[in-house]
Amino acid sequence: MIISPSALTTVTSQWARAGYTVCIHAIGDLANRAAISAISTASPSSAGFRIEHAQIVHPDDQKLLWSLGITPSIQPTHATSDQFYALSRLGEERLRKRAYRMKSFLPLKPVLGSDFPVEPPSVLAGIYAAVTRRDPKTGTSVGGGNGWHTEEAITVGDALRGFTSNVAAAAGMPKAGKIEAGAWADWVVLDRRLEESPQGWEWLRDETAVKETWVAGKRVFARDTEPIAVV
């Protein structure tokens, strides 16, 4: 830890009183306990509090996280990257009860991301990891390839919300992260529909599934066509 629990409590309360959305970086269970404790003493700003990673959280602290309404900011590909050595670092019990939660955090509308440049920035890879709990680079997982601790896998709908509307809500940006009248017109066009129960998700590993990108209502990228001038 690079800051003591008492100092973290002080600065968390100070920034929250000043109206800022306080986001605390915490990976291990001790760091998450300190972050949750600090948040419990502060009054939230309009956008609340976030814990970045929330990667290993003691079951008692998970209950506090839920009761305080803290938003966990999770990177699905961390689980699929770490799976190959996590058992030797954490042990079976901590993996089973504390580590790499996703489905367990759904009532809190978790934010999903990539932690780029630590992990690749691809949203499709993140969705693949969240839904299958397999490595997007290889399509494999520890223990036979069917997914690592799949009890924490989430649906594609929850994954999409995690990468879009949940992000906007956590940042206090109500006009972002959704498709409706008056919202920001940023989206991508894929080469097929995202369905809840498809035959498989392997196509998410292929970035060419993205056919167009639109920003502020203008198409700024189109695959297999002439380059688009941005004006």
Let me know: does 100 contact 149? Beta carbons within 8 Å: yes
pLDDT at 228 (0 to 100): 54
Identify the H or E element spanning 50: strand 49-53
Give the whole-angstrom CA distance, residue 80 versus residue 145.
Answer: 11
pLDDT at 231 (0 to 100): 46
pLDDT at 48 (0 to 100): 85
Give the whole-angstrom CA distance, residue 76 versus residue 125.
Answer: 9
CB contact set of 157 (below 8 Å; sequence gap of 6+): 196
Give the whole-angstrom CA distance, residue 181 versus residue 184.
Answer: 9
DSSP 150: G
Give the whole-angstrom CA distance, residue 66 versus residue 152.
Answer: 16
- Name the residue ranges covered by the structural domains of the chain: 5-178
Pairing of strands 218-222, 210-215: antiparallel
Q: Is the peptide bond before 117 cis (omega within 30 degrees of 0)?
A: yes
pLDDT at 199 (0 to 100): 64
Separation of CA 66 from chain center = 16
Let me know: does 161 contact 109? Beta carbons within 8 Å: yes
Sheet (strand 210-215) strand order: 187-190, 210-215, 218-222
Let me know: does 88 contact 57? Beta carbons within 8 Å: no
pLDDT at 1 (0 to 100): 85
pLDDT, one tens digit for every residue, the chain (231 residues): 899 999 999 999 999 999 888 999 999 999 999 999 999 999 776 668 999 999 999 999 999 999 999 999 999 999 999 999 999 999 999 999 999 999 999 989 999 999 999 999 999 999 999 999 999 999 999 987 789 999 999 999 999 999 999 999 998 888 899 888 999 999 999 998 887 655 689 999 998 999 999 999 999 999 986 555 554
- Helices in the chain by DSSP H: which ranges? 5-17, 29-40, 59-68, 76-82, 86-90, 92-97, 123-132, 156-163, 165-170
pLDDT at 43 (0 to 100): 78
Question: Per CATH, which fold does 5-178 belong to?
Answer: TIM Barrel (3.20.20)
Residue whose C-alpha is closest to residue 10's, from 45, 30, 37: 37
Let me know: does 62 contact 104? Beta carbons within 8 Å: yes
